[in-house]
Amino acid sequence: MEFPKRHQDKVVNIPERKGKKQRLERGFDGDRDNSVSPPPTCSGDEGHRTLLGEVRAQVDVLSSTFSWLEADRAAAKHATHVLAQLAKNEEVVNVIVEGDAVPALVKHLQAPQQLIEGEEGSKPYEHEVEKGSAFALGLLAVKPEHQQLIVDTGALPHLVNLLKRHRGGSLSRAVNSVVRRAADAITNLAHENSSIKTRVRLEGGIPPLVELLEFTDPKVQRAAAGALRTLAFKNDDNKNQIVDCNALPTLILMLRSQDAAIHYEAVGVIGNLVHSSPCIKKAVLLAGALQPVIQLLSSCCSESQREAALLLGQFAATDSDCKVHIVQRGAVRPLIEMLQSQDVQLREMSAFALGRLAQDSHNQAGIAHNGGLEPLLKLLDSKNGSLQHNAAFALYGLADNEDNVADFIKVGGIQKLQDGEFIVQATKDCVAKTLKRLEENIHGRVLNHLLYLLRVAEKGVQRRVALTLAHLCSPEDQRIIFIDNNGLELLLGLLGSTSPKQQLDGSVALYKLANKALTLSPVDAAPPSPTPQERDARDIEIPNIRWEVFELMMRFIYTGSVDVTLDIAQDLLRAADQYLLEGLKRLCEYTIAQDISLENVSSMYELSEAFHAMSLRHTCILFMLEQFDKLNARPGFSHLIQRLIPEIRNYFVTALTKPNPHDLRL
């Protein structure tokens, strides 16, 4: 997969399109031998012995009936059907293999070579025994551990020959069925087995499968496409041969079929052909696949929708022009609708496709304008890591367009990104980069738009804008946002709300705002040393002060500095306030501030009020804002924070209107 320069897209797990037992069984009822008894169960030693005996009995029949005698053909047909019925139960598949059924079934994949004397031209149950054998072997191959045994026993050449049975000109139901069962068996044998996929190609299996795509029986078309789908998965030589056999025009026509099963298989083949194959991807696009794939997004078949979305995501990695063409041809709206499906895989594949499309600047605003933001943000709540990441990656792309910034904020996207619980580290990194992109776009006309919303939008939007700007705005813009355009009052309104969530959002934003204000400092620098006149004073009465406090106070008066320890800091603060020693007060406040905790912050604030300790008071306020979620559950804190709102307002007004020393130097 290809990645944008500034962020690596998580590779979507593209599963091999498996030919499952259910597909093998589809349509079997019409072919069933009604004389077949229900399969025995296999529970316990006795059940195992009974079942094994039944299997070996059928194997004996197959071993002794390889002729064109009508009785032999009837018996062989019945035996293959019995074994197929048993093989439908995966719990007994191992017993069937244990009973040596594989060699017997493989033998009957081909017809007897010579006719019985006197029966020239008569071929009783022609194709029927081979069909039953192929069907049973396909069911056994559902278990990967049996695939190699079946191939090593010589099944592949016979199965490939069965694919060619229609070439004799007899297009009967029996011919159709045997061809279909052979294709299904190849599908299961090659599933997730790279060496068998290669063996199928070497045995000449791909050309007849491509030829069967044009077969008149839709069931045969589906089976052939299913086999090609499996053979193409992660096998470049197979992919190239399928394309060289001119399969693409027929596959693209199949995309337009009214039969959902046909277009589902066709889009699956094309998806596996283009995966990690840029040259084939271009060939598929040149062959006209884009529009029919986009149309499949609106199919009633959810599997086809999913495959189409995945394929569009792969197409979108080709080049920027292809991304634009996909959007221009109407893919965005159905993809956004799929984001809201009940099907998790549909949501994942549509998010994947939109994520790829959103890496082009021409598409980003269009996806947001068509309503893509909110469903993508909602997917961040998913407990599916891959789905969550695909949504995050799509949002990362949308955040690159400054026209989307206000929309992100209006729908609460920033809070969603900040508060989300993300499963994998790659998603966390993606979200962090998305927030950074948004922050980089908050200037110029984007900032002017947000300021306009602060003034005129409905209250909920105003609050979201204020919260966002507290986190993402530049420090140089804080005054115009929070003082001149009422942003501070919006944050204080949240802090004073009766909603715990709004209170927490407001406190977090105010704390972030305080940290970003370049002029804020909880402890100012100490003033210069006392003047010489003070030092000449002789008789000064110092009542109600301990000797240790007096000694430190005198040392500060005469030297301008002193080491303040925590055990004496509060008494020394009281004395410094009493005798107007501002520098000493600040040193005491700094020492006391180091000891602020969840347990004592309220009393520390009361201490700052009692002794007019503004620096300590501001430190307490910042601590309360920072630890709001932990403090809010404590008795009396809610009342305290409401009482402090005027003080918090004064604090921020002073901080945000104070001239920036950097500006003054300029």
Q: Per-residue DSSP letters for 369-420?
A: HTT-HHHHHHGGG-S-HHHHHHHHHHHHHHTTSGGGHHHHHHTTHHHHHHH-
Give the orientation angle of helix 302-316 with respect to helix 260-274, to 10 degrees.
Answer: 30
Give the residue from 110, 122, 225, 112 showing the smallest Cα distance to 164.
110
38 pLDDT band, cuts 50/70/90, is: low
From the number of C-beta atoms within 10 Å of its C-beta (0-12, 13-18, 19+), residue 58 rates as buried
Find tokens 């299996």 and name the residue: 205
SS3 142: coil
Tokens 């059924």 found at: 101
Which of 202-211, 245-254, 614-623 is predicted least confidently?
Answer: 614-623
* d(C-alpha 395, C-alpha 417), whole Å: 10
- Rounded-to-integer distance, Cα 60 and Cα 54, Å: 10
Instruction: Report the pLDDT value the prediction gives residue 526, as an integer from 0 to 100.
Output: 43
Ramachandran bin of 66, using left for φ above 0, alpha for ψ from -120 to 50, beta for the remaining angles: beta
DSSP state string for 308-370: HHHHHHHHHTS-HHHHHHHHHTT-HHHHHHHTT-S-HHHHHHHHHHHHHHTTSHHHHHHHHHT
> pLDDT at position 101, please?
97
Q: State the pLDDT at residue 120.
A: 56
Look at residue 330 in the predicted model and tell me its pLDDT.
Answer: 94
Per cent of the chain over pLDDT 90 is 70
- Compute CA 218 distance to the chain's CA centroid, rounded to the nearest angstrom: 35
Closest alpha carbon to 465 in 375, 405, 381 = 405
Is residue 92 within 8 A of residue 42, CB to CB? The reply is yes
Mean pLDDT, residues 7-17 taken together: 45
Q: Over the range 265-282, which residues count as b (16 or more CB within 10 Å of their CB) and which as e?
A: bbbbbbbbbbbebeebbe
Average pLDDT estimate for 503-510:
94
The residue written with tokens 């009766």 in the block is 498
DSSP secondary-structure letter at 567?
A: H
pLDDT (tens digit per residue) in 346-397 = 999 999 999 999 999 889 999 999 999 999 999 999 999 999 999 999 999 9
600 vs 533, residue with greater confidence: 600
Residue type, position 267, single letter = V
pLDDT tens digit sequence for 123-139: 899 899 999 999 999 99
Burial 252-264 (b: 16+ CB within 10 A, else e): bbbbebeeebbbb
- Is residue 8 very low, low, confident or very high in pLDDT (cuts 50, 70, 90)? very low
Tell me the CB-side half-sphere exposure of residue 57, using CA atoms within 13 A: 8
The length of the chain in residues reads 666
Tell me the two tokens of residue 656: 């945000």
Q: Phi and psi of 84, rounded to 5°?
A: -65, -40
pLDDT value of position 31? 52
Number of H helices, E strands in the chain: 41, 0
Longest distance between any two alpha carbons in the chain, whole Å: 145
Confidence of residue 550 (pLDDT cuts 50, 70, 90): confident
Question: What Cα–Cα distance (Å) separates residue 306 from each residue in 275, 462, 521, 563?
Answer: 15, 39, 55, 70
- In this structure, the number of other CB atoms found within 10 A of the CB of residue 469 comes to 27
